[in-house]
Structure formats: structure tokens, C-alpha cells
Amino acid sequence: MIKTAYYQDLTKMNTFGMKVKARCFIEYDSVADLVDIEFEELARPVLHIGGGSNLLFTDDFKGTVLHSKINFIEILDDAPAETVLVSVGAGVVFDDFCDWAAKEGLWGVENLSYIPGEVGASAVQNIGAYGVEVKDVIKTVYCYDTIDEEFVNFDVEDLEYGYRDSAFKNPEIKGRYIVTHVVFALSRTPQPKLDYGHLKAAVEAAGAELTPALIRKVIIKIRKEKLPEPSVMGSAGSFFKNPVITAEHYARIEAAAKAELGADYKVPHYDLPDGTVKVPAAWMIEQCGWKGKRSGNAAVYDKQPLVIVNYTGEAYPEEIIGLEKRIIASVKAKFDIELHPEVDHI
């Protein structure tokens, strides 16, 4: 069924809580509904959203906002015993899928637990956390082509996945394909990935049998301790991407940090297979003194400086953007690194 509304309030449809409206809002709950939507006649621009968790509305949206309510989780009959292929509707809350997989004893998405958003958006954004990206478990993404008006599918190898990136974000095709469902390749064989940060120590401290459910429980606890609940304080989660730099650049940062903070100081980082180094944006933002700082109705979260929050619930988009620009400028001045937002600005 298709539901259409005009001048729809989007405040509760974006986790930042921006008080904006859409000229036209369309919600559908089946794949077949997409065939009945006259895409050429929709008010432009057209934006498809998931849970509204990775975007910042900068003003009222003057076009059409689409939202999927396609909601199903189905184990495919032809999956081999050791690998379980699971088809999941684009409108399924991604963490509900993680919860389902953990209860089924299936490995693959437990590290991605408690990331806000929906399954369709996860395949576009290539969400990731604790050493795992969703591309690692995606097999096929099924879509509706709004130009050729036909259903298509893409194998994971075709989607040019990168860090918080995919072919769906290519300007030449952005918005053309609407994800209808995603097939994930999960595993019955234990495949814990615990090498990121302090995850292994946290899981071992839990002192229980190593299962997807245990890892999920630990990760949810960690995330709740450092990230705000959108229902309490609006945010879009991690606002900036973690920059990847050369080993030489990292060496300069490390030398400067040791000179400033002591010879034994260790700069947090993650060595990548190609010899480059990923440095947490949160660490750099904190070193620039932003952690907990407030600017009008916006603030840098006091438990995780990677997160910009709608501190009072009354923040205007301009306040969020102004704070973002000042953070970028200060990190550039101190570390010669240009931070890039992970959040889409709409």
C-alpha cells in the first residue's frame, strides 16, 4: 500500500531532530508498490531515506521523500549448511536484523549491532563498526531501477564498496536505484572478529560462552556508554569519517603527540594492510579541545567527540553546520588533516 502526504513534518523521521518538512512524502510497504509510483511526475528532487540516522536536513525539503516499509527476514531454502543466505527487506531496522541473527546463532553481523538505520540504507552507506563493514556479509542487493522501470540486482563485487561508500553514491547514478531487499551470507561456523580496539578484552571480561549473542550484548553496552540515544538527544551518530593517512604523516603526528603529552604516550590508530594508517577522528577532535563544548543549541557530545548533538532539541541546521566547520578548521590547523563528514547534508 502506498501512503502519500504533503508538507509532511520530518522531525521524527531524522535522528538529528531537525524541524523540517517535505513538500511530498511517500511511504510504501511492498516491492510491487514501486511499479505504481510515477517517478517522472514526482516533485524534484527525490530523496529516499531509511531511518534518517545518517543525514542532516539543512532546510525544508522542496521535493519528494520516499520511505520503504518492506519488512521481512527470510532464510533462503537453497543456502548450504555452513552458510546461511538470508533475504531481508529494505525497511527492516538493521539492529532488529542483528538481534534476529544473534538469536538464530548466525555469525556475521553481531559487530554491527545497535547501529541506527534500516537495511536498505546500510547497503548504500556500507555501515561499519568494530572491524566489520556490512559489505563483508552482503551477497546481493536487489533494487528497482526508477529510470528503466525494472527490477535489477547487483552482486557485492559490482558495488565498488569502500569506507562508508558504494557505487550507489556515485553522482552519475545516485538516487536511480531503490534498494528493495538485501541477501546476506551469514555463517553457522563461529567467526568472531574481536581485533578492533578493546573489543576482545571486553568480550573476555564478560566471562561467558563466545556466541554472536554475547558479542552483540557487549557491543550494545559499549555503544550505549559512549553514544547518545536519539530519542533523548538528537544526533546522526558518528559525524565524521575516520581519516586514513600515510605512515609518514602518522609518524609526524605521533612525534608531536609524544613531545606534547610525554614520551610514553600512544596515539590511537589502526594499521591497514596497504601500509596506511587510520586515525580516530574522535581523538583528534578531543585533542583540539572540542569534547563537551557547546555552541548555542548544538554541542560535541561529552562522552564521544565524534558525535555532534542537537543539545537542546531546538538546534537549527545552521548551528550544526557552523560547529562542524569550526571542528574541521581546528583539526586541519593542528594535524594537517581534512576531516570529512560521514553524515549526508540534504
Residue 150, helix vs strand vs coil: strand
Q: What is the dihedral of CA 326, 328, 329, 335, to 10 degrees?
A: 140
Residues 26 and 64 sit within 8 Å (Cβ to Cβ): yes
Residue 319, helix vs strand vs coil: helix
Tell me the residue length of the chain. 346
Type of residue found at 230: P
Q: Which contacts qualify for 1-6: CB closer than 8 Å, 24 or more apart?
A: 1/28, 1/29, 1/30, 1/33, 2/26, 2/27, 2/28, 2/33, 2/36, 2/37, 3/27, 3/28
- Residues 198, 124: Cα–Cα separation, whole Å: 28
Residue 23, helix vs strand vs coil: strand
Residues 310 and 234 sit within 8 Å (Cβ to Cβ): yes
Q: How far is CA 104 from the centre of its chain?
A: 24
Specify burial of residue 192 (Cβ count, 10 A radius: 0-12, 13-18, 19+). middle
- Please state whether beta strands 73-75 and 83-89 pair in parallel, antiparallel, or not at all (unpaired): antiparallel
C-alpha cell at 262: 610525554
- Residues 107, 122: Cα–Cα separation, whole Å: 18
Please give the positions annotated as active site. 164, 238, 342
Residue 240, helix vs strand vs coil: strand
Residue with cell 533475504: 87
DSSP tag of 36 = H
- Please state whether beta strands 21-28 and 2-9 pair in parallel, antiparallel, or not at all (unpaired): antiparallel
Residue 161, helix vs strand vs coil: coil
